[in-house]
Chains A and B, each alone.
Chain A
Amino acid sequence: MLQLHALSKHYGTNHVLRGLDAQFLPGRVYGIIGENGAGKTTLFRCIAGLLGFEGEITGPGSNFRHHLGFLQTNNYFFPKMTGREYLRLLCQARHAPAVKLDERNVFDLPLDDYAETYSTGMQKKLALLGVLLQQNEVLILDEPFNGVDIQSNILITAIIRALKTKGKTVLISSHIFSTLSATCDEIYLLREGAFVRRVLPADYAGLEQEMEDVTVGDRVDRLGL
């Protein structure tokens, strides 16, 4: 179980995360939603240990970060590194077998091409594939659907469901509500660094409507189209 207790993060006087408490259980998928700048990526980076924080984060095992897969919003690829080498590097880093890469290349990526020459969507899929091949217990997927084609979208949704049945803990952020409602067991609404709501599937439709009302409001009329 991944647990956050009074998790806070601030840059000087700018409080990005404000005392977050949450429990994320194995075999469940959690969605984190919020506006740009709400603190989603900061939260993920704190859980991954890439940022310092106040409060407590505990996870399964003595060092759960060694079993944590992190798909970042923007992934860096070294120039002149092939997709295959990237996958090998990620597998070797977690002592996972880097075998049958062609067979496991479910996104049909050109693994022998340089990763830097991939399109945005292909880079996202390569990074996701790397995280999946590592066989982690906890997965943080920051915007996994960003820039990917509709077929891959369907495949990623199926993969997330499979991760759930395998007992993995999955945290996802996405700006596409339908992808979250199709995969998540719970959705946390993050606003100005705080969890303001925890929503269960029965209330997803209401949450979507509420978000539309708040987000759109009279903004379209104000454009004067």
Chain B
Amino acid sequence: MRNYFQLQLRIVQRFLTEWRLAPWLVALVVPVLFVLGSLLLLERTAYAALAIMVLSWSGFAWLSGSQRNYFLRITYPGATYRKIRLWENTVIILPIVLLFVGKGLGAVVRPEASGVAWWYWGALALVQGLVGTAMAYRVVGGRASLKLPTPFSRQPFEFAVGFRRAWWLLVFAIFLLIMGVRAQNFELGAFAWFMTVFGALNFYQKPEPGFYVWVHALSGRQLLLRKLRIGNVHLLILGLPFVLTLLVAFPARWLLVVVGLVLASAYLTLFIVAKYAAYPNEIDLVNAFIIAFGFVVPPLMIFLIPYYFKRAALRLQLVLS
């Protein structure tokens, strides 16, 4: 087990070195950034705790991937496998539990602030950790015969595959949407909608193997336009329950919903063109920052999208010509 974690550490170090980041610096800065960033976020928005929980859950889901766990199961004895998975989940959930506990203790020191909610969040994080570990202990491949129908099956593959992998996010988002409508809270409903938008961006995160680009009888530009067209149509289908619900429940905020639609489409467009501008590599850290900046300052996307589009079309043309 020790060898396994040493190997993981070496892999992480190699990634950081590739990104030209000093591993020791990252080890110092990341915990500080996590604590400061989380505290700042928790102060500024009521939904920050929820967002942190969703992030940690996506971490569990990634660690519970069937191929990864199948490999671990056939490589290590059962007890070692379970220990590895327990430690991995602990690494994800422990900082979050400590964060909520810290907030709870802070409220005890300052009696004017109510800290009960933080203890609940801490307990919820623990439960999430336990559920995540239970997911890891399930029989790998046991659910392989279950096939989730998807409205995106006609035009594979990104949304069809992504939807099946992240269906739980959609369920969670719909739950939040219902909560938002019941509490007459537009912001919560909009937050739920954009959770699915960012979930959909994640469908495009990994560059596909070269064969899946090569196989198209199209030019680079044509393939990119096709990807954008299908992606945006699918994004609209995915967001339809949210858009319609928000329009019906909050008719006075229709303009915000329309702006949201444009923004969602722009986010996806930017993400797709940036992905293929880096193809066959993953988006590097510098470009990831530029994209994130574009997300925060949307008018920038007017310049970023054409810039990445040109580069992406050229990149794809290299594979297709």
Contact = CB atoms under 8 A, between A and B. Distances in A.
B67 A113 contact: no
Interface string B217-239: 11000000000000000000000
B144 A90 contact: no
Contacts of B211: 50, 70, 72, 75-76
Interface in B170-217: 208-212, 214-217
Interface in B151-174: 153-157, 160-161, 164-165
Contacts of A90: 215
B161 A113 contact: no
A199 B153 CA distance: 46
Contacts of B210: 50
Contacts of B161: 78-81
A113 B144 CA distance: 8
Contact of A89 (B145, B157, B165): B157
A117 B67 CA distance: 11
A92 interface: yes
Contact of A85 (B67, B156, B217): B156
Interface string A65-99: 11100101001101111101110111011110000
Q: Contact size class for B? A: 20 to 34
A8 B217 CA distance: 26
Contacts of A78: 157, 161, 208
A112 interface: yes
Nearest to A45: B210
A50 B319 CA distance: 7
Given A86-B156, A88-B156, A112-B147, A93 B217 contact: yes
Contacts of B216: 93-94
Contacts of B148: 80
A49 interface: yes
A49 B318 CA distance: 9
Contacts of B215: 70, 89-90, 93-94
Contacts of A81: 156-157, 160-161
A70 B147 CA distance: 28
A49 B321 contact: yes
A80 B150 CA distance: 11
A92 B319 CA distance: 18
Contact of B154 (A63, A72, A79, A88): A88
Nearest to A95: B217
A188 interface: no
A189 to B, nearest CB: 27
Interface string A29-72: 00000000000000000001110000000000001011100101
A114 B144 contact: yes
A48 B214 contact: yes
B66 interface: yes
A89 B208 CA distance: 13
Contacts of B212: 76, 89
Contact of B217 (A70, A79, A84, A94): A94
B141 interface: yes
A215 to B, nearest CB: 32
A49 B220 CA distance: 14
Given A85-B157, A117-B141, A80 B164 contact: yes
Smallest CB-CB A-B distances: 3 pairs: A66-B217, A80-B164, A85-B156
28 contacts: A49-B321, A65-B320, A70-B211, A70-B215, A76-B211, A78-B157, A78-B161, A79-B66, A79-B67, A80-B160, A80-B165, A81-B157, A82-B147, A85-B156, A85-B160, A86-B156, A88-B154, A88-B155, A89-B215, A90-B215, A92-B155, A94-B215, A94-B217, A112-B147, A113-B145, A114-B147, A116-B67, A117-B141
Interface of B: 65-67, 141, 144-145, 147-148, 153-157, 160-161, 164-165, 208-212, 214-218, 319-321
